[in-house]
């Protein structure tokens, strides 16, 4: 008797469990199956519009330097994000495709005008938000022709666009340790541009 | 449990589901998601944003227009200064039933307007209006037409003293499938 009750008990438990799974499955399905489906007379989506206004002698940040979503490799390594957006890595690091973005700046001078650009440092440490772990950022490169490394030394460039308006991208090299603590790392870097 | 009991239980479970079951399962459970999308009558996916690139107001300001085919034109002293200009582009997918589906572009229309605000200072704005599209209203046979790609352009007003910087705004694109 006892054995039989036990069997019933376990069968009931199994049954309850099954029903609970069914319950979950039904709940997942409910929004489609149970909510009366209104005839969709419209389809819609959202889009964004962007414009970068440059006024004489202005200097604007258009995009931040974003190395994207990173999976550390088996060894310490570097991510090289070029001004043109291409990504190369060492150490087996994986950067999720499409998640990175070179920095972009814009300004407006006159054709053939000289501008100087410098940074506040040559190398930076990105620090984990909510922690103390860091990642080294070096070889900050401007997408000039040919590409040039930016730093505390002043670099000189000539505006070549006929309108005098210009834009340039900036990339860099980021060090990622094999045991890099997960999280969001960030830092600020200052770009000083002077119209001559 | 006998058959009647099972059916009753299932109905009871469905009813409980609709009302919202509050009790948590006693067993350990992992969530898994299975997604099925029922298109209803259509879905629009955005392929690209409406991008004016760099814009120089010039002495008097004016307007810059991007047509659905990508042509850039200006009014006043506005100079398009480069960067990537593109009309917003979208893909409309429709299920093959009903066989005949009327497609009518709804919004944003030429009389609609949205505001682009300066990153970091929402008091600095530009108005984007006179939306144009190359989606032609009419009957379609989804089975033959497949996905329909279309573009939306617009005209941006730039003041003479427009503050420099990156301006962004959002808009919804709606297509009627009555």
Residue B49 in any domain: the answer is yes
Q: Say how far apart CA A10 and CA B52 lie, in whole Å.
A: 68
Convert the pLDDT of each residue in A88-141 to its tens digit: 999 999 999 989 999 999 999 999 999 999 999 999 999 999 999 999 999 999
Residue B28 in any domain: the answer is no
A165 vs B contacts (CB less than 8 Å): 54, 56, 79, 81-82
Question: Residue B23: what pLDDT?
Answer: 53
Convert the pLDDT of each residue in B24-34 to its tens digit: 545 676 777 77
Chain A contact for B98 (CB, 8 A cutoff): no
Q: Which of B29, B168, B173 sits opposite A50 (nearest CB)?
A: B168
Average pLDDT in chain A: 82
Whether a cis peptide bond, with omega within 30° of 0, leads into B108 is yes
Question: Residue B17: what pLDDT?
Answer: 37
Residue B4 in any domain: the answer is no
Question: Residue A108: what pLDDT?
Answer: 93
Domains identified in chain B, total number: 1
Place of tokens 């090289």: A80
Q: Say how far apart CA B10 and CA B137 lie, in whole Å.
A: 47
- Asked if the Cβ–Cβ distance from A49 to B53 is below 8 Å, we say no
Chain A contact for B148 (CB, 8 A cutoff): no
Residue B37 in any domain: the answer is no
- Asked if the Cβ–Cβ distance from B178 to A108 is below 8 Å, we say no
Checking if the pLDDT of B116 tops 60, the result is: yes
Residue B38 in any domain: the answer is no
Give which of A108, A10, A173, A38 is closest to B177, Cα–Cα: A38
Residue in chain A nearest B156 by alpha carbon: A51
A-contacting residues in B 77-96 (Cβ below 8 Å): 79, 81-83, 88, 90, 92
Question: Residue B39: what pLDDT?
Answer: 61
pLDDT band at A30 (very low <50, low <70, confident <90, very high): very low
Residue B152 in any domain: the answer is yes
Beta strands in A40-102 (DSSP E): 42-53, 59-63, 70-71, 77-81, 87-89, 94-95
Cα dist from B131 to A158, B67, B175, whole Å: 38, 9, 14
Contacts (Cβ under 8 Å, ≥6 apart) of B18: A30, A34
Contact B65, A49 (CB under 8 A): no
Residue B169 in any domain: the answer is yes
Whether a cis peptide bond, with omega within 30° of 0, leads into A141 is no
Structural domain that includes position B147: 43-176
């Amino acid at each position: 008797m006892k054995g039989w009750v036990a069997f019933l008990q376990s069968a009931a438990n199994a049954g309850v469990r099954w029903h609970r799974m069914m319950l979950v499955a039904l709940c997942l399905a409910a929004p489609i199956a149970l909510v009366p489906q209104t005839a969709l007379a419209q389809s819609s989506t959202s889009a964004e519009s962007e414009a970068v206004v440059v006024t004489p002698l202005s200097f604007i940040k258009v995009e931040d330097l974003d190395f994207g979503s990173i999976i550390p490799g088996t060894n310490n390594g570097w991510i090289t994000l070029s001004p043109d957006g291409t990504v190369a890595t060492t150490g087996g690091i994986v950067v999720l495709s499409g998640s990175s973005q070179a920095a972009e700046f814009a300004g407006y001078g006159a054709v053939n005008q000289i501008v100087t650009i410098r940074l506040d440092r040559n190398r930076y440490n990105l620090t984990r938000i909510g922690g103390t772990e860091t990642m080294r950022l070096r070889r900050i490169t401007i997408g000039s022709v040919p590409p040039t490394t930016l730093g505390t030394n002043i670099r000189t460039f000539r505006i070549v666009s006929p309108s005098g308006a210009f834009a340039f991208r900036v990339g860099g090299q980021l060090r990622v340790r094999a045991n890099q603590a997960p999280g969001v790392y960030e830092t600020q870097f200052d770009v000083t541009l002077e119209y001559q | 449990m006998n058959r009647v009991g099972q059916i009753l239980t299932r109905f009871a479970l469905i009813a409980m589901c609709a009302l919202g079951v509050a009790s948590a399962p006693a067993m350990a459970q992992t969530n898994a998601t299975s997604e099925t999308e029922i298109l209803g009558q259509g879905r629009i996916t955005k392929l690209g944003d409406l991008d004016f690139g760099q814009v120089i107001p010039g002495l008097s300001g004016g307007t810059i227009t991007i047509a659905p085919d990508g042509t850039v034109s200006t009014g006043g002293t506005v100079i398009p200064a480069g960067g990537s200009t593109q009309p917003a582009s979208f893909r409309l997918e429709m299920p093959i039933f009903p066989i005949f589906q009327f497609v009518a572009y709804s919004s944003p229309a030429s009389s609609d307007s949205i505001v682009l605000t300066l990153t970091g200072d929402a008091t600095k704005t530009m108005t984007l209006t006179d939306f144009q599209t190359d989606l032609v209203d009419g009957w379609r046979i989804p089975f033959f037409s497949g996905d329909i790609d279309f573009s939306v352009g617009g005209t941006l007003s730039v003041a003479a003293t427009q503050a420099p910087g990156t301006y962004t705004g959002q808009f919804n694109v709606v297509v009627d499938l009555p």
